[in-house]
Chains A and B, each alone.
Chain A
Amino acid sequence: MTTLETIPSELAVTTSWESKGGSQWLASDALEVRKMAEVMMAHQGRLLTITATQLPEDGGMTLDYHWDLDGTLLTFAFVVENNQVASIFDLCEAADWIEREIHEHYGIEVTGREYEPLLLRAGDKMGVNLHEEED
């Protein structure tokens, strides 16, 4: 089996990869953010970024973690629950600015680490969802 094929079982999920839009996708209710980071770092995966998306009609937020594994783009999809997500910064340093930006732009609390806003925006707008602010 290839590394790609073993990852779902290492993450204890029963779903398999789906190829979509130029990335391999893995989505499952059983996925855990920190377990994903541990497994990807163990395979020398490289965290590329995290895409935060607000779903229409107050459907909540999703976070898609994009990794590179030997040139293959892998995406792990998560639904944000209780407006918070566990930090992976202690497992993967590359997550530092990305997590801080997600807090700053979407108001999602990143738990398990101390952080300051990235200060991309003006100081009175920290942790406020840009889209809701616009409304």
Chain B
Amino acid sequence: MSYRIPMGPYHPALEEPYKLELVCDGETVQDAKLNIGFNFRGIEQLAETRNFIQIVALMERVCGICSNTHTLSICQAVEQIAEITPPPRALYIRVIMAELERLHSHVLWAGVAGKLIGFKTMFMTCFAVREQIMNVLQTISGNRVNYAMNRVGGVNRDIDDPAMILAMIGELEKDMVKTVIPVFTTSHSALSRCTGVGVLSEEKARSLGVVGPTARASGLPQDLRRAAPYAAYEEMDFNVPVEHSGDVKARLVVRALEILESCSILRQALSKLPAGEIFTGDESEMEIPEGRGFSRVEAPRGEVIYSVTWGEDTDTPSRVHVRTPTYINMPAVRWMVRGARLADTPLIQASIDPCYSCTDR
């Protein structure tokens, strides 16, 4: 006999509120229904009341983890409309901030995964390592969550001492290679909870249009930094890790390998940081012309897309549409949990690294 179990909207396994209605037969999940909307803030509509300076601060609040991704996305979209090209140094700083954000997001996720696996020492270790990344972000931006680094035409703050940041990255990488990555790629305790669990086939991943590590763990080698480079990614040499098993382990391994790639990109960007200005144009004289602009950024969880329309002779956009990675990845959870053990569903839903604030906007 089948029965229904609600998971959420408030549940110890969920970092943010949403609801999974699980249909179970004994301990086996037969199907699931997802309910979102617990974090809806009407940000798209609110954006239509903000000018090109205010809108950057607003969109930074779409997500608490990838706040930099959203400011980068909105700035790139507006720069498309206004045909502004930020100076090379600003583009490099954008890459540095984006990779630091990816690092802290992936390490945070590893900690949450550790907790859900029942490996709480790993949770503490990951959060200690993440603290080092937060220190780097704070050193550069003065902030720990909303960095306020991006502006239309460039960035707000320079990196005055790249050598110091490089040394911090070196320490960080050493700790991650010594602790976080071996545990998640070789530890029997971790792998036994993840192998063969929550499988999303390549065919299903393609059909659902999933993005980011979720797609790459199902054999889809898509990464916007490679396929449609923005900022200074075209000048960076890096690999796109791809796994083919489509299970929680694959998603874990992809993120672990991406941590190393991010460190490599950071070293390249910091050592090649070009001299020069960090923004172009004078904000007090800048006017955004009528037009449409699009921006796509490879956030830690996958592709973010911004579609922005600016009307004629107006200070505010007439339409801002945001599509976040969790919005497109979340429907895949229904397919991942089918046939899984009920006890594995918290880890399976967490394996896409969901963000519901982003999803609901």
Report 20 cross-chain contacts, Cβ distance below 8 Å, ordered by A residue. Answer: A21-B77, A21-B294, A22-B295, A23-B292, A47-B209, A48-B296, A51-B321, A52-B321, A53-B318, A56-B318, A64-B307, A66-B305, A70-B227, A73-B294, A92-B207, A94-B207, A119-B37, A120-B36, A120-B40, A121-B40
CB distance from A4 to the nearest CB of B (A): 14
Q: Which of B76, B303, B319 has the most CB of A within 10 A?
A: B319
Contact A120 B321 (CB under 8 A): no
CB distance from B72 to the nearest CB of A (A): 14
Q: Is B182 an interface residue (CB 8 A)?
A: no
B209: chain A residues at CB < 8 Å are 46-48, 92-94
A96: chain B residues at CB < 8 Å are 331
Contact A21 B331 (CB under 8 A): no
Q: Chain B: how many interface residues by the 8 Å CB criterion?
A: 39
Residue-wise, chain B 55-89 has the 8 Å CB interface mask toward A (1 for contact) of 00000000000000000000011001100000000
Q: Is B286 an interface residue (CB 8 A)?
A: no
Closest residue of chain B to A117 (Cβ to Cβ) is B37
Contact A97 B327 (CB under 8 A): yes
Contact B228 A72 (CB under 8 A): yes
Q: Is A39 an interface residue (CB 8 A)?
A: no
Q: Is B224 an interface residue (CB 8 A)?
A: yes
B76: chain A residues at CB < 8 Å are 22
Q: Is B351 an interface residue (CB 8 A)?
A: no
The B185-232 residues at the A interface (CB cut-off 8 A) are: 206-209, 222, 224, 226-228
Contact A23 B294 (CB under 8 A): yes
Closest residue of chain B to A55 (Cβ to Cβ) is B318
In whole angstroms, how far apart are the Cα atoms of A21 and B319 in the complex?
14
Contact A20 B292 (CB under 8 A): yes
In whole angstroms, how far apart are the Cα atoms of A48 and B307 in the complex?
11
The A114-135 residues at the B interface (CB cut-off 8 A) are: 118-121, 130-131, 134
Q: Is B323 an interface residue (CB 8 A)?
A: yes
Q: Is B311 an interface residue (CB 8 A)?
A: yes
Residues of B within 8 A of A (CB): 35-37, 40, 42, 45, 76-77, 80-81, 206-209, 222, 224, 226-228, 291-296, 303, 305, 307, 309, 311, 318-319, 321, 323, 327-328, 330-331, 360
In whole angstroms, how far apart are the Cα atoms of A96 and B331 in the complex?
9
Q: Is A16 an interface residue (CB 8 A)?
A: no
B80: chain A residues at CB < 8 Å are 21-22
Closest residue of chain B to A119 (Cβ to Cβ) is B37
Pick from B37, B77, B224: contact of A118, CB below 8 A.
Answer: B37
Residues of A within 8 A of B (CB): 20-23, 44, 46-49, 51-54, 56, 64, 66, 68, 70-73, 75, 92-94, 96-98, 118-121, 130-131, 134
CB distance from A54 to the nearest CB of B (A): 8
CB distance from B3 to the nearest CB of A (A): 22
Contact A48 B227 (CB under 8 A): no
In whole angstroms, how far apart are the Cα atoms of A94 and B319 in the complex?
22
Contact B323 A48 (CB under 8 A): yes
B292: chain A residues at CB < 8 Å are 20-21, 23
A73: chain B residues at CB < 8 Å are 228, 294, 296
Closest residue of chain A to B328 (Cβ to Cβ) is A94
Contact A66 B207 (CB under 8 A): no
Closest residue of chain A to B321 (Cβ to Cβ) is A51
In whole angstroms, how far apart are the Cα atoms of A128 and B45 in the complex?
14
B321: chain A residues at CB < 8 Å are 49, 51-52
Contact A71 B227 (CB under 8 A): yes
In whole angstroms, how far apart are the Cα atoms of A64 and B330 in the complex?
22
Known: A47-B209, A51-B319, A73-B228. 13 other contacts (CB 8 A): A22-B295, A49-B328, A51-B307, A53-B309, A53-B319, A56-B311, A56-B318, A93-B207, A93-B209, A94-B207, A94-B209, A118-B36, A118-B37
Known contacts A21-B291, A22-B295, A97-B331; is-contact A49 B36 (Cβ 8 Å)? no
Closest residue of chain A to B322 (Cβ to Cβ) is A49
Closest residue of chain B to A95 (Cβ to Cβ) is B209
Pick from B206, B305, B360: contact of A44, CB below 8 A.
Answer: B206
In whole angstroms, how far apart are the Cα atoms of A47 and B210 in the complex?
10
In whole angstroms, how far apart are the Cα atoms of A119 and B38 in the complex?
9
Pick from B37, B294, B323: contact of A120, CB below 8 A.
Answer: B37
Known contacts A21-B80, A21-B294, A94-B208; is-contact A71 B228 (Cβ 8 Å)? yes
Q: Which of B40, B323, B330 has the most CB of A within 10 A?
A: B323
